[in-house]
Amino acid sequence: MIRSWLRPSSRFAGDVVRWFRLGPPRPVRVTVLIPTFNWSSVLPYSIASVQDQTFGEFELLVVGDGCTDDSEQVVEHLAATDHRLRWLNLVHGTGHQAGPNNEGLRQSRGELIAYLGHDDLWFPRHLEGLVAGIDDGSTVAHSSVLMVNPGQAPFVFPPRGQTAGEWLPPCSIMIKADALREVGGWRFPSQTGTVDPETDLIRRLAEGFGPPTALPTVSAIKLPASYRRDVYRTRPCHEQARWLERIRAAPDHEAMVRDACAGPSEPTIDGDDPVARLAPMMAPSVRAADRQRVLRVYKGLENEPSQPLRQGQWR
């Protein structure tokens, strides 16, 4: 089954040799999943923010949604000096992070699952804080993020210690892997009606295991691709480079967040106001599949092939 829809990695032979020499891989506490598609320039920054974590008992799976660029080479280069890092790639793109996230869950060894968008970043104590939240008795824990939208001053979302509605940025969440498997993993926009797949997942987890625990910390930076026109055509990485440098240079990340929120608005792209432009599509009455189609056009993905898989195909 794996070979039927995963591209073979150049590291496969080496993995086999290690298996026979050292035995099967041992479980780890946390599996970090980075779903990605044809935007290799941002990967060194998101991966670096994982490698900078104070909590080191993790494996990092970068899962391509049928990537055809040099993402594999970028990840393999970084994995040569970090055994925790592994590249996977779906043979057929699914057009949504649900596909890579579900394959990552299937191949994960961690007790806990944490997500990071390929264009987002974590603060160094992100995993440490979420693991502590889970260890206090939660099935799902989340922090807040610093949301960075073009044309707006950065802001904290959701408000510290609160779960705003039911949509949470995936880069803020940690979930017990067994619970995630029990609810069936991620669903695609075509399966979730008017709610986004992120909201659908949190609802199903809350129904089975109780509401998520909100931590009173900001521990990630969210740079929404949905608000960056043609970003999958131009594939820039200057924002990720700038924010990672700022994270690493800051002696006090709480102060860094306060300064960012009090600072000027982020630059727009060609004077466009994407938040206002796309506001009608963010209305709760819009079907998730329709919203996804519009956002794919805006992000520059309308010419990319998309073959959504049925949920049963990843089990």
The tokens for 239 are 């924002």
* pLDDT of amino acid 165: 64
Measured at the CA of 184, the angle between CA 181 and CA 190, to 5 degrees, comes to 145
Q: Is the pLDDT of residue 175 over 60?
A: yes
> Which has the closest alpha carbon to 85: 60, 103, 106, 104?
60
pLDDT, residue 1, reads: 32
13: pLDDT confidence band, cut at 50, 70 and 90? very low
Task: Answer whether 152's CB lies under 8 Å from 265's CB.
Answer: yes
Band of pLDDT at residue 302, cut at 50, 70 and 90: confident
How confident is the prediction for the chain on average, in pLDDT? 88
Assess contact for 168 and 157: CB atoms under 8 A.
Answer: no
pLDDT digits 0-9 by tens, 104-115: 999 999 999 999
115: its two tokens: 């997500």
pTM for the model: 0.88
Residue 180 has pLDDT above 60, yes or no: yes
Give the separation between CA 114 and CA 127, rounded to whole angstroms: 8
Give the confidence band of 200 by pLDDT, cuts at 50, 70, 90. Answer: very high
For the chain, domains (ranges, CATH) are: 2-314 (3.90.550.10)
